[in-house]
Amino acid sequence: MAVKKKGLGRGLDALFPEKSVKPTEQKSAQKSVPASENSHQQSENTSAVKPEPEMKDTAQAAPVEPKKTEVLVKISKVEPNRTQPRKQFNEDALLELSESIKQFGILQPLLVSNKGDYYEIIAGERRWRAAKLAGLKEVPVIVKEFNDQQVVEISLIENIQREDLNPIEEAMAYKRLIDEFKLKQDSIAERVSKSRTAVTNSLRLLKLDDRVQKMLIDEMISAGHARAILAITDKEKQANVAMKVFDEKLSVRETEKLVKHIVDPPKKVQKPVNMAEDAIYESLEEKMKGIIGSRVFIHRKKNNKGKIEIEYYSRDELERIIDLFESIR
């Protein structure tokens, strides 16, 4: 299995270099979290905000007083970013996180921008949703101002690092950076610490039929299946193959073979037609049928070789044919 990159390239480090909590504060906050939950927290961390080590939002440290760089605001004043890449949230995981927040509070503050009459979430929508489920009235936030491109990049990097995006959401985020902000694929790859090929392959998934994309989002097929299906240009055939993959539980390798057969079907070897010779052999078959009284087939091979096949339909008929051959002797 390939080792996953944990770095973020220069993306968020360049956008958001300062740290909001000193190392000593991080250490003291960690001690208040049960050890079994502390490891689960780490995957939630991003380079965008590192006030304290987060437990993928499923475990939180004991409530602490707001630092100079963070403030408590009413949760009703915080709203999600409607353009953030992530659209789907696992309900069971949110419930698990909300129970942790009830016990320990929110360890890592949300990153937000001030929109005047409300705060828009840049990073931490999952924490915000779980906090609402937990019944919190206030949430800790860090207020920062970013332009639209930076907001998209931060949301994308945060979700990619935690592997929270499905393949289509990730591809749509890349497409937005290209279409709206005119970024090149090389630049996007550098920001999210992925290869240019990985970004290109992700964008190619948007060429799939909408039905196939939905199956990929619903995890009915994998990204490997989807990339194999991309070799088919006809959208209807794409959907049919995807459904066949799901129904028959085909592996990626089996899917590749199926697609190859559809895209480049094997050519049938056509035997040369000799109508005059065919007529001669048909005449011989009829002549032998008249003698034996049963259907006869002559199977031709190369170099004037072949075999004769005689049909019979009962034991009595077989014995009759044998008697006929014996009488010829």
Question: Are 159 and 144 spatial neighbours (Cβ–Cβ below 8 Å)?
Answer: no
Phi and psi at residue 2, in whole multiples of 5°?
-70, 145
Neighbours of 61 (CB within 10 A): 25
In sequence order, the β-bridge partners of residue 111 are 123, 142
Tokens representing 317 are 């008929």
Helix (H, G, I), strand (E, B), or coil: what is residue 52? Answer: coil
Residue 21 burial by CB count (10 A; 0-12/13-18/19+): exposed, middle or buried?
Answer: buried
How many residues would you count in the chain?
329
In sequence order, the β-bridge partners of residue 113 are 120
Per the residue annotation, which of 70, 125, 153, 158 is the catalytic one?
125
How far is the C-alpha of 325 from the C-alpha of 329, rounded, in Å?
Answer: 7
Active site residue 79: no
Q: Taking Cα atoms as reference points, which of 153, 194, 146 lies closest to residue 173?
A: 153
In sequence order, the β-bridge partners of residue 79 are 120
Question: Are 226 and 212 spatial neighbours (Cβ–Cβ below 8 Å)?
Answer: yes
Task: Could you list the beta-strand ranges (E) of the chain.
Answer: 71-74, 78-79, 110-114, 119-123, 138-143, 296-300, 306-310
Q: What is the DSSP letter of 44?
A: G
Q: Which amino acid is at 41?
A: Q
Residues tagged active-site: 125
